[in-house]
Amino acid sequence: MSRYTQEFRDEAVRLVIDDGISQAQVARNLGINGWTLRDWVRAKRKSLPNAGVVRYETLEEENRRLRRELSIAQQEREILKKAAAYFAKEQL
């Protein structure tokens, strides 16, 4: 008999596959062994139809998200540079 219910397994796998949370993070958060979660995720991915297409779309979405985050980080850095220069000028 399994230590974990099927619902628990499905939710853990969903967090990795659908929400994009790392396997290590999900395993830590749920208090399960990382290797166990890895096996569950692999089994689920093998059972998915067109797994390659799904993964490709996920990578495109991640790429768009990372580009947005980079743009925001660059804007924030420029603001901080200007603020630092302003306050450095005031202290003189």
How is 4-53 classified by DSSP, letter by letter?
S-HHHHHHHHHHHHTT---HHHHHHHHT--HHHHHHHHHHHHHHSTTHHH
- What is the pLDDT at residue 1? 56
Task: Write down the pLDDT at residue 78.
Answer: 96
Q: How far apart are CA 90 and CA 85, in angstroms?
A: 9
pLDDT values of the chain reduced to their tens digit, one per residue, 92 residues:
578 999 999 999 999 988 889 999 999 999 999 999 999 999 998 887 765 555 556 788 889 989 999 999 999 999 999 999 999 988 87
Q: pTM of this prediction?
A: 0.53
Nearest by Cα to 37 from 23, 51, 18, 47: 23
pLDDT at residue 56 in the model: 59
Q: What is the CA radius of gyration of the chain?
A: 21
**Residue 48: predicted pLDDT:** 79
